[in-house]
Structure 1
Amino acid sequence: MRKATVLLLAFCAGFSIMSFELLGGRMLAPFFGSSVYVWGSIITVFMLALSFGYLLGGRLSMYSPSMKRFAIIFLIAAVSLLPTIFLSESIFEFVFEIVEDPRYGSLLASTFVFFIPSIIMGMIAPYSVRILTVSASSSGQTAGFLYFVSTFGSAVGTILTSFYLVLWLEINQILWLVFAILFSCGGVALGVSRLDKQNPLNI
């Protein structure tokens, strides 16, 4: 049950990350346009944030990994989206007024709004690997399959967000959807943790 749950949550995390990244371009466009500079800024910020997230998630997983802590990562990731939902427009306006160059303006604005949530979402993948790994000999296969599931979720998130969600919903509504997905994942992980109380995780 734990394995199926972790794989499902990894899929949802991949979906959420790419949906969030694609929305970044739509959110910045009214202020800085949608040129290659803007997308370069978004991709740079997300890649840096995810790299830090992978590092932190891997380090955190060394200390008594559990479904409860896994759930907390999802819940914090969801809460970290709230400033984006409520404050992003004000932040973009502020940066737009003080930085005229769209290259550095978009880079700075992206850092303020997207960096922290992306770090936290990046922590999910390495922590997932640690929970699923039962022996050193199977760690490579476990990591490969989990990153397959996570990346597949990213592909689904990319297609659904860019082809459909942006046509059906407003940006803030999609952000609330991502919030709901992450928050629900945290709730599911907590539920599994409670069911698993009598059989603690031993890795």
Structure 2
Amino acid sequence: MSQLAASCLVFFTSAAVLVFEILAGRLLAPYVGVTLETFTGIIGVVLAGIAVGTWYGGRLADNHDPRRLLGPMLVLGGALSIASLPIIRLFGGVGLGSGPLAIVFLSTVGFFLPAAVLSAVNPTVIKLQLADLDETGAVVGRLSAVSTFGALFGTFITGFLLVAALPTTPIIFGVGGVLVGWGVVVWYRLPRDLQTRAVVGAATVLALATGALGLAFPSPCQVESAYFCASVTVDPERSSGRLLTLDTLRHSYVDLEDPTHLEFTYAQALSDVLSTLGDPGEPLDVLHIGGGGFSLPMYLEATRPGTFSRVLELDPVMVELAEDDLGLVLSEDLQARTGDARLNILEEASGRYDLVIGDAFGGQAVPWHLTTRELVEEVERVLTDEGTYAINLIDYGPLGFARAEAATIRDVFEHVAVIAPPERIAGREGGNFVMVGSNAPIDVEAIQRRAEEREDDDIVVGDDAGLDEFIDGARVLTDDFAPVDQLLTPLS
């Protein structure tokens, strides 16, 4: 085998491993969400596969003719890569939960074997290229460098181009199919025997069968963007109701005929806060961090005509989906700006807004960089002197994240309130919390009255009643320390 052919094999297989590693996050997202823990589990499993494959591939190359191994390795690696689609969709659909064990299990059944088999190609090719022991260092160094460059290429082209241009399924079919086809060619051109013929044949059948299974287990996403697996479904009990689901989270609810209808309790709690700002029906200037289904901007448009809303939405596909399926009509008074909110808020004028609403999620967690003191300080900067910040978040169990976020908001604003049912405030159940910060006094009594009028059991914990007990000494989140995923889903 020529040096060029050897380098191409090592380059492409290393690139393929990283392509699948990045796509693994998209495959797992509908079942376990997208958090730091998700990527930790994926990276750990794939690295384990690389380690095992490199070690065992080297042993195989020492004990067998490496020329007879390469073709079967490529075909089997491609077949196993394609098989990750039906495997993840099958096991993910049985409801394993979203904790570390589920993440590691799904990563292992989906990606360990493809990573191991494809990583075995590198030591096998090195064995083929070692014609002279005096050149061992040069050969190993060259192919190791080529492998690293292949991994870099796979990382960059997937993260920057492929996931933005194509859904996950055709990318996996394409890369896996190329591996299978290339493996057949390599097997045909190099020495072969009945044993390797059987392996190649069986692996090819496996690739075709798992490809068919991949089509039989369709993606749970109606729309798959670079960031989210999204679907819009009709409410069976309300024909005009539409539910937006992002990954594992029921994110937004919109009534196409009545934008004042707020289905989710957190949205109702936010409306209670809105009722205390200015005179009833008076227009406001509002900045929204996170758009999703755009239910609150449309609610404000209907209940406070003339309100100016600017929505900082990460994903342009979500804006298009809201326009197509959720009744969103953009205008001079309802604008959407796409891109990362942490960067876009820097370009907003100081003292511009009466209200900032935080409603951004990656899975069930608020993205960590939208939780820190530095972000809250930017929020305070863009608010008027009496402006209000209201953020929706989710937490469970010991409420490590909710307590820390309340401490963070209080570190910036003079007045803070936390809104949630009493069982949730006490840490006996999990769910949504609405937190409010302002440098002007918060009308806690008015918010509580609105909740009672709606016959909601929410209570409001404010400056003078229970806030210190709720925060319970929690540490302020900063850009240097914001372990949101771990606080939200503690290993215990």
Please give the range of the TM-score, normalised by the shorter of the 2 chains: 0.7 to 0.9
- Shift of residue 67, structure 1, vs aligned partner: 2.6
Give the conservation status (yes or no) of the 8 Å contact 1:74–1:182. Answer: yes
Tell me the distance in 1 between the aligned counterparts of 2:22 and 2:98.
Answer: 22
- Shift of residue 182, structure 1, vs aligned partner: 1.0
Q: How does 1:73-152 map to 2 (within 5 A)?
A: 73-94=73-94, 97-98=95-96, 100-152=97-149
Give the conservation status (yes or no) of the 8 Å contact 2:75–2:179. Answer: yes
Q: Does 1:163 align with 2:160?
A: yes
Tell me the distance in 2 between the aligned counterparts of 1:47 and 1:115.
Answer: 9
- Shift of residue 149, structure 1, vs aligned partner: 0.8
- Shift of residue 84, structure 1, vs aligned partner: 1.1
- Shift of residue 63, structure 1, vs aligned partner: 2.4
Flag the 1:3–1:191 CA change in 2: closer, same or farther, 3 A. farther
SS at match of 2:181: helix
Q: Deviations over 1:107-148 (max 9, x none)?
A: 111111111111111111111111111122211210110011
Q: Does 1:66 align with 2:66?
A: yes
Q: Tell me the TM-score normalised to structure 1 length.
A: 0.88
**2:462 aligned partner:** none
Give the aligned residue type for 1:117: P
- Shift of residue 2, structure 1, vs aligned partner: 2.6
Q: Which has the larger radius of gyration?
A: 2
**2:351 aligned partner:** none
SS at match of 2:177: helix
**1:200 aligned partner:** none
Identify which of structures 1 and 2 has the higher relative contact order when contacts are C-alpha pairs closer than 8 Å and 6+ apart: 1
SS at match of 1:8: helix
SS at match of 1:134: coil
Give the conservation status (yes or no) of the 8 Å contact 2:66–2:124. Answer: no
Give the aligned residue type for 1:148: A
Q: Tell me the TM-score normalised to structure 2 length.
A: 0.37
- Shift of residue 101, structure 1, vs aligned partner: 4.9
Flag the 1:25–1:101 CA change in 2: closer, same or farther, 3 A. closer
Tell me the distance in 2 between the aligned counterparts of 1:121 and 1:68.
Answer: 15
The percent of aligned pairs where both chains have the same amino acid is: 24
Q: Deviations over 1:60-110 (max 9, x none)?
A: 01124333321111011111123212232121122xx23x35222111111
Give the aligned residue type for 2:73: I
Runs of 4+ in 1 over 3 A off after TM superposition: none
Give the aligned residue type for 2:5: T
SS at match of 1:34: coil
RMSD across aligned C-alpha pairs, in angstroms?
1.6
- Bigger helix fraction: 1
- Shift of residue 3, structure 1, vs aligned partner: 2.2
Q: Structure 1: give runs of 5+ residues left out of the alignment.
A: 195-203
**1:198 aligned partner:** none
Farther off after superposition, 12-21 or 134-143: 134-143
